[in-house]
Amino acid sequence: MTPRSETLLAGLKRHDPRAIGRAISAVENNEEAAADLLAALDQDLIDKVLVLGITGPPGAGKSTLTSSLIKTLRTQNQRVGIIAVDPSSPISGGAILGDRIRMMDHALDPDVVVRSMATRGRLGGLCASAGAAVRIMAAAGCEIILIETVGVGQSEMDIIRLADITLMVLAPGFGDDIQAMKAGLLEVADFLVVNKSDLPGSDALCMDMEQIFLKKQEETTIARVLQTVASENKGIADLLEAVNKFAEFLVTSGIKETRRSTALDAETLDWILEILRPRFMEAMKNNPEKKDPRIRAKELIHKNFRNITP
């Protein structure tokens, strides 16, 4: 183990915010120190932590809901980690990470650990670094980790796979957006949270969603469609109670275990792509050909695979 990873590891055990931030950067930037650091994390803490994914269309109130979840979790004395994901610009590679704005109430609470992450426009990679961030936060004493992301793209879907439980946040008045999402995200969501439920149309939306969730509802007696007004902290305690019950069910039924192992596979695949990507970019640059891309890909793999050492 390098001295740097040892310092970081000791810092994580002390819950030192600087060490947590640096450790996550080390992973995000693919630094040398990251590998032994990750290997040395306390697996017990990682197994025990509950990872909640929070997703939904822009404007549904994800950040506000996250903030009010933090507030309630803090009254229960839980140490909370938050990973807030925002998109990188495909053109400049830059990003504005603004989820913090709604979480600043907790900025001085040492038991609320927030990390903003940009998607960095890569296919693989984000899922891997977000997964590592989850483990680092768990090793730094977080008992519950919230991953917040806009639920539209493929990379966001992949991140949500890291979660043990996924909450889909909707709000009345979104109409067509919901239609568009029916095919994908509603299927992976464990809970539908109808936020801004003081707005007209909330009850109708709930009824629609309950229809969609009939089958999931049969698994347990836990209510899966809940209403909240996150800005007023309404419905949050009930939501957390349902989530906790469901978390217990996931453990006893063995589903949590299965989900974790699927997530690890997804992360592994991500790392494979992340490691291979630069080599094949290089190979393509050195060998420009106007060929059918699929044939060219096969040839490149054939030619280069033997030379690859990770």
Partner 1 sequence: MNSQNNPYRVLIGKPGLDGHDRGAKFIARALRDEGFEVIYTGIRRTAAEIAATAIQEDVDVVGLSSLSGAHLRLFPEVVNELETRGGADIPVLGGGVIPEEDIDLLLKDGLSAIFTPGTPASTIIRSFTEACQQHRDHDAQK
Q: Residues interacting with partner 1, by CB under 8 A?
A: 4, 16-18, 20-22, 24-25, 28-30, 88-89, 91-98, 100-101, 104, 107-108, 113-116, 118, 120
**Closest distance to partner 1 from the beta carbon of 287 (Å):** 21
* Nearer to partner 1 (CB atom), residue 254 or residue 310: 310
Of 47, 114, 31, nearest to 264 by C-alpha is 47
Task: Report the nearest approach of partner 1 to the CB of residue 113 (Å).
Answer: 6
Beta pairing, strands 50-56 & 191-194: unpaired
CA 36 from chain centre, in angstroms, equals 23
Residue type, 62: K
Q: Which CB atom, from 118 or from 251, has the smaller least distance to partner 1?
A: 118
How far apart (Å, rounded) are the C-alpha atoms in residues 284 and 299? 11
Q: How far is the CB of 245 from partner 1 (least distance, A)?
A: 31
Give the C-alpha distances (Å, rounded to integers) separating 242 from 174, 192, 236, 258, 262.
25, 11, 10, 21, 24
| Cβ atoms 294, 270 nearer than 8 A | no
Indicate the residue among 25 and 220 with the shorter CB distance to partner 1: 25
The residues, any chain, with a CB within 8 Å of residue 43's CB and separated by 6 or more, are none
What's the CA gap between 183 and 294, in Å, rounded? Answer: 28
**Residue 82 has what DSSP assignment?**
E
Residue 84 or 263 with smaller CB distance to partner 1 = 84
Residue 226 CB, shortest distance to partner 1, in Å, is 28
d(CA 9, CA 299): 43
* Residue nearer to partner 1 on the CB measure, 107 or 183: 107
CB of 199 to partner 1, least distance (A): 24
CB of 225 to partner 1, least distance (A): 32
Residue closer to partner 1, measured from CB, 83 or 229: 83
